[in-house]
């Protein structure tokens, strides 16, 4: 599908709808001018129904374009009298939330890992052995101590985090000083070695990729008594950072061979500034495209989960839950068609953005 | 030929990921099973037909403890435990989850384990083992067993009077007086050895025992084994169709690049890749399997029962009618994906000089395509296979649910809804195992096919 314009425009429209969901739907007027007087003017939302508003006064399952108690049901209703159009708008909001939320988490994890693995590799960043050992020992010990000892005391969450960070930092510093003093006697400790960023990140990649995402989500969500959308967002984000990291790593592997990086290095730019200021800005562009693909995937995953009835509370309406309702009422084709069309268009838009990179 | 050193090294490294990933996955499943709400010991006691706790608490206690011991719940959770000095190494012997939580909170607040232990023992004694105690004291003691808030305990013990309550009050005051909360800050490492729950879980897994289902006490392996053939048939057919159709499609799309066929095929594969499989499945199931619109062409339920002795063609027709729609919905997204990948790989190959040379030598175009270009363009197909298997399995969860096929996906869903943890964790483990296997096979095959990979040269991967 050519024409990148339509995809970006469509996704922008989706985001706008999600943002303005409360203005677009609702069963109360938005504004009433000259209330009480004879020329009272009330401004209603575009879809004069609330998504979760159950309307048992009419028989349920009204087809599209039928008149309801508040106005026309443009896309029909479900068995409980909830307006489908309002439900589609509510579903849009949830889709945008899930898509952007999991994207944020995946980027926060994937970009640093991919950048460091690609640019420094296994030999790029050098540190003396005592520094490495101090960090490797200090970090896990500090974290463990935070959870076992500090976690047992009755302190609030933020203080726990703060004190944990403090303890970990102190531990690493003490170990560093001790090992540095020891290195005066034991010579091998002073040797600068390459920090194996690439190996560690590749290992983490392999492990994360081997976790079955949907199956794990089904298992996790079913045992939470109060299903929450944030669990879905968190798990999708935690498992979805791999394509971002892989792609960024590949890009940086290519970029670090370019002459301008060497020129900057000779000019005296430090390694970290080299990565952040010189290499990363060039590599980020294509990553945005991979990220767009990930958004489509997570919206699809959320739709699958709510289709199965997991992940969102029962009364919340999403595209997937509307599809599930259509299974019980096959004659109500509007419940199956409209949310599905919207879902399809969203996924196609995300795919087409990715396709522009020439990958697919 | 280069000696065995370099490429066996690569293969061994790839294969080493398998046990590591499996170990981590089993640990994850163990964590999920442990963190799941609900008390399996209670479920077992209820099923065993013991009298409920409200009628005869003492004998319920005894049977609870016996059931816990037989299930191994009085063992520590892991090979070792890292805690603070306020918590003893024998905390796991308290099997009841709520009581353990209470005792742990008390120990962490006051820090003096012996006094906390005496206090709790006094509470237990008053709650169950003192027949002469007045009823309200017994009731109060039973409440104290599971409440750990300091002001609640103070209120409750303040209201207790009488000789029966004296040991409890004395122990409570000793616990408060001798509090050493600073012990919380010292770390402790307790070593438990092989006798722990995780080791038993792992050993059972390696033997192939997944435990018993909570729902109907059948073994989990029996329940899963029944569902494997339908899922295998569904996914196997889908895999065959995906590769069978997408290979010629992708290659010819590349060969006739730019033609009307290619343009149409590109648009169609783009749409097929984007349109969600489960939506199409829902639409097809709604319209074609129910009499709602009069198009009741396909059966809606299950797998199709084939009576004994039917002719092969009839059996095929019945099976085919049931499987046609599910396989269609499962196949078309992956088909589009593989075809497009193959097309782009083949286009790259077709530009290479060796193709021009072959054509100039007089070889017909299709022969060049299939004998030479295909072998080079097929490399990504192997790696795609690794990702295809978990995608198909995940997809079949929804497809089986929609078309009512009694497969592994349907079992996962129904067990998850029924909170049947042994089955759910076993299925997660099996799915993870198949995912890892798929990835490892893909990587190893890729290394075997492409000598450049295992010799460490740059590959166009």
* CA gap B201, B241 in Å, rounded: 39
Checking if the pLDDT of B285 tops 80, the result is yes
* CA gap B96, B65 in Å, rounded: 9
| B35, B184, B276 ranked by CB distance to A347: nearest | B276
Helix A213-222 crosses helix B421-449 at what angle (to 10 degrees)?
170
Which of the 8 DSSP states describes residue B36?
A: S
Q: Is the CB of residue A133 less than 8 Å from the CB of residue A325? A: no
Helix then strand then coil, in percent of chain B rounded to 5, is 70, 5, 25
Tell me which of A313-317, B76-80, B170-174, B199-203 is least confident. A313-317
Tell me which of A136-140, B41-45, B82-86, B219-223 is least confident. B41-45
Report pLDDT digits (tens) over A270-304: 888 888 888 888 888 778 878 888 898 899 989 99
Q: Is the CB of residue B58 less than 8 Å from the CB of residue B128? A: yes
* CA gap A40, B282 in Å, rounded: 47
Tell me which of B285-294, B334-343, B437-446 is least confident. B285-294
Tell me whether 0.90 is exceeded by the ipTM: no
Q: What is the mean pLDDT of residues B207-226?
A: 82
- Mean of per-residue pLDDT scores for chain A: 82
* CA gap A152, B447 in Å, rounded: 50
B43, two tokens: 């479920």
Q: What is the per-residue pLDDT for B1?
A: 42
Give the CA angle between residues B5, B8, B10 to the nearest 5°: 105
Q: Could you tell me which of B356, B345, B329, B331 has the C-alpha nearest to residue B250?
A: B345
Reported confidence tier of residue B453, pLDDT bands at 50, 70, 90: low
* CA gap A318, B288 in Å, rounded: 25
Q: What is the per-residue pLDDT for B456?
A: 56
B340 touches chain A (CB under 8 A): yes
A344 touches chain B (CB under 8 A): yes
A336, two tokens: 């199956």
Give the residue with greater pLDDT, A303 vs B384. A303
* CA gap A10, B315 in Å, rounded: 48
In this complex, do B82 and A144 lie within 8 Å of one another by their Cβ atoms? Answer: yes
Which of the 8 DSSP states describes residue A163?
A: H
Q: What is the per-residue pLDDT for A343?
A: 92
Closest chain A residue by Cα to residue B85: A149
Q: What is the mean pLDDT of residues A105-133?
A: 87
To the nearest whole Å, the CA of B27 is away from the closest chain A CA by 12
Q: Could you tell me which of A299, A319, A300, A303 has the C-alpha nearest to residue A311?
A: A303
Which distant-in-sequence residues (6+ apart) come within 8 Å of B102 by Cβ? B120, B145, B146, B147, B148
Max mean pLDDT among A215-219, A226-230, A265-269 falls in A265-269
- The region that residue B51 occupies, defined by phi over 0 for left and psi between -120 and 50 for alpha, beta otherwise, is beta
CA distances from B195 to B28, B88, B91, B201 (A): 20, 17, 15, 11
In this complex, do A218 and B397 lie within 8 Å of one another by their Cβ atoms? Answer: yes
Q: Is the CB of residue A98 less than 8 Å from the CB of residue A77? A: no
* CA gap B154, B34 in Å, rounded: 33
Q: Which residues of A touch B424 (CB under 8 A)?
A: 218-219, 222-223
Q: What is the per-residue pLDDT for A16?
A: 83
Q: What distance separates the 2 farthest-apart alpha carbons in chain A?
A: 95
Q: Is the CB of residue B29 less than 8 Å from the CB of residue B428? A: yes
- Residue B195 class from Cβ within 10 Å (0-12 exposed, 13-18 middle, 19+ buried)? exposed
Q: What is the CA radius of gyration of chain A?
A: 27
Which of the 8 DSSP states describes residue B91?
A: G
Alpha-carbon torsion (B105, B107, B109, B115), positive or negative? positive
Q: What is the per-residue pLDDT for B295?
A: 65
DSSP bridge pairs for A83:
A77
Q: What is the per-residue pLDDT for B241?
A: 92
Give the residue with greater pLDDT, A157 vs A140. A140
Q: Which residues of A touch B275 (CB under 8 A)?
A: 344, 347-348
Which residues 193-252 of A have a C-beta within 8 angstroms of B? Answer: 206-207, 209-216, 218-223, 225
Count how many residues are written for chain A.
360
Helix (H, G, I), strand (E, B) or coil at A116: helix
* CA gap A222, A309 in Å, rounded: 10
Q: What is the mean pLDDT of residues B63-74?
A: 83
* CA gap A176, A130 in Å, rounded: 7
Report pLDDT digits (tens) over A40-87: 667 777 777 777 767 666 666 777 777 766 677 777 777 777 888 888
Q: What is the per-residue pLDDT for A130?
A: 85
Q: What is the mean pLDDT of residues B267-281?
A: 90
Q: Is the CB of residue A93 less than 8 Å from the CB of residue A318? A: no
Report pLDDT digits (tens) over B16-57: 777 888 888 888 888 877 877 767 777 777 766 655 556 677
Count how many residues are written for chain B.
461
| A210, A308, A351 ranked by CB distance to B432: nearest | A210
| Per-residue burial over B294-327, b = 16 or more CB atoms within 10 Å of its CB, e = otherwise | eeeebbbeebeeeeeeeeeeeeeebeeebbbbbb
CA distances from B193 to A145, B62, B94, B343, B360 (A): 22, 27, 19, 56, 72
Name which of B416, B417, B418 to mutate to probe chain A: the one with the most chain A Cβ atoms within 10 A of its Cβ. Answer: B416
Checking if the pLDDT of A360 tops 50, the result is no
To the nearest whole Å, the CA of B317 is away from the closest chain A CA by 26
Q: What is the mean pLDDT of residues B341-366?
A: 86
A303 touches chain B (CB under 8 A): yes
B17 touches chain A (CB under 8 A): yes
Which distant-in-sequence residues (6+ apart) come within 8 Å of B372 by Cβ? B354, B355, B358
- The region that residue B304 occupies, defined by phi over 0 for left and psi between -120 and 50 for alpha, beta otherwise, is left
* CA gap A171, A177 in Å, rounded: 10
């Amino acid at each position: 599908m050519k024409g990148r314009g339509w995809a970006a425009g469509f996704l922008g429209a989706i985001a706008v709808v999600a943002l303005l969901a409360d203005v677009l739907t609702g069963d109360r007027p938005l504004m009433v001018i000259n209330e009480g007087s004879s020329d009272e003017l009330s401004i209603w939302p575009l879809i004069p129904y609330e998504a979760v508003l159950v309307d048992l006064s009419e028989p349920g399952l009204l087809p599209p374009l039928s008149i309801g108690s508040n106005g026309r049901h443009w896309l029909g209703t479900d068995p409980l009298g909830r307006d489908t159009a309002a439900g589609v708008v509510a579903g849009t909001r949830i889709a945008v939330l899930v898509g952007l939320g999991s994207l944020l988490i995946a980027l926060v994890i994937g970009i640093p890992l991919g950048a460091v693995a690609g640019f420094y590799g296994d030999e790029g960043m050098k540190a003396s052995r005592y520094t490495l050992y101090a960090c490797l020992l200090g970090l896990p010990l500090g974290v463990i101590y935070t959870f076992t000892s500090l976690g047992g005391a009755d302190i609030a969450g933020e203080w726990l985090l703060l004190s944990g960070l403090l303890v970990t930092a102190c531990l690493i510093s003490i170990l560093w000083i001790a090992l540095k003093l020891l290195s005066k006697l034991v010579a091998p400790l002073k040797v600068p070695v390459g920090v194996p960023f690439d190996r560690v990140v590749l290992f983490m990649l392999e492990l994360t990729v081997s976790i079955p995402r949907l199956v794990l989500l089904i298992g996790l969500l079913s045992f939470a008594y109060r299903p929450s959308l944030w669990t879905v967002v968190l798990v999708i984000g935690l498992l979805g950072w791999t394509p971002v990291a892989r792609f960024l790593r590949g890009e940086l592997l290519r970029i670090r061979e370019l002459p301008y990086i060497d020129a900057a290095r000779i000019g005296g730019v430090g390694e970290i500034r080299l990565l952040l200021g010189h290499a990363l800005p060039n590599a980020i562009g294509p990553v945005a495209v991979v990220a767009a693909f990930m958004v489509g995937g997570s919206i699809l995953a959320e739709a699958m989960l709510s289709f199965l009835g997991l992940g969102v509370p029962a009364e919340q309406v999403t595209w997937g839950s509307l599809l599930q309702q259509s299974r019980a009422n096959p004659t109500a084709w509007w419940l199956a068609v409209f949310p599905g069309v919207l879902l399809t268009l969203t996924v196609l838009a995300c795919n087409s953005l990715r396709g522009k990179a020439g990958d697919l | 030929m280069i000696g065995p050193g370099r490429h066996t090294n690569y293969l061994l490294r790839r294969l080493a990921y398998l046990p590591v990933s499996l170990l981590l996955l089993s640990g994850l499943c163990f964590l999920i099973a442990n963190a799941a709400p609900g008390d399996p010991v209670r479920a077992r006691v209820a099923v065993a037909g013991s009298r409920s706790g409200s009628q005869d608490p003492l004998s319920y206690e005894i049977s609870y403890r016996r059931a816990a011991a037989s299930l191994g719940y009085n063992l520590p959770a892991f090979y070792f435990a890292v805690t603070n000095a306020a918590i003893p190494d024998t905390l796991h012997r308290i099997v009841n989850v709520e009581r353990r939580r209470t005792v742990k909170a008390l120990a962490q607040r006051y820090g003096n384990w012996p006094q906390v232990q005496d206090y709790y023992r006094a509470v237990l004694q008053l709650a169950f083992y003192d027949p002469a105690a007045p009823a309200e004291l017994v009731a109060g003691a039973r409440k104290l067993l599971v409440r750990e808030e300091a002001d609640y305990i103070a209120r409750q013990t303040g209201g207790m009077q009488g000789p029966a309550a004296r040991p409890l009050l004395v122990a409570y005051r000793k616990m408060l007086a001798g509090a050493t909360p600073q012990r919380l800050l010292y770390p402790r490492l307790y070593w438990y050895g092989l006798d722990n729950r995780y080791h038993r879980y792992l050993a059972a897994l390696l033997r192939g025992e997944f435990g018993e289902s909570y729902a109907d006490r059948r073994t989990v392996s029996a329940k899963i084994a029944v569902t494997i053939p339908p899922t295998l048939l569904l996914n196997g057919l889908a895999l065959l169709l995906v590769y069978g159709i997408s290979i010629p499609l992708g290659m010819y799309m590349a060969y006739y690049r730019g033609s009307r066929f290619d343009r149409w095929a590109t648009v169609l594969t783009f749409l097929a890749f984007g349109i969600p499989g489960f939506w199409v499945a829902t639409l097809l199931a709604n319209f074609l399997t129910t009499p709602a619109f009069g198009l009741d062409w396909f059966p809606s339920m299950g797998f199709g029962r084939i009576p004994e002795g039917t002719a092969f063609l009839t059996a095929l027709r019945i099976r085919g009618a049931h499987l046609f729609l599910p396989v269609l919905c499962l196949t078309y997204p992956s088909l589009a994906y593989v075809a497009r990948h193959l097309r782009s790989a083949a286009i790259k190959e077709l530009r290479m000089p060796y193709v021009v040379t072959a054509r100039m030598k007089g070889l017909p175009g299709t022969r060049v395509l299939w004998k030479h270009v295909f072998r080079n363009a097929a490399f990504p197909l192997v790696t795609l296979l690794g990702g295809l298997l978990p995608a198909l399995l995940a997809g079949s969860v929804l497809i089986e649910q929609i078309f009512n096929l009694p497969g592994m996906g349907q079992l996962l869903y129904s067990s998850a809804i029924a909170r049947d943890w042994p089955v759910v964790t076993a299925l997660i483990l099996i799915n993870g195992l198949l995912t890892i296997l798929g990835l490892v096979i893909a990587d190893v095959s890729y290394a075997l096919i492409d000598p450049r990979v295992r010799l460490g040269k740059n590959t166009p991967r």
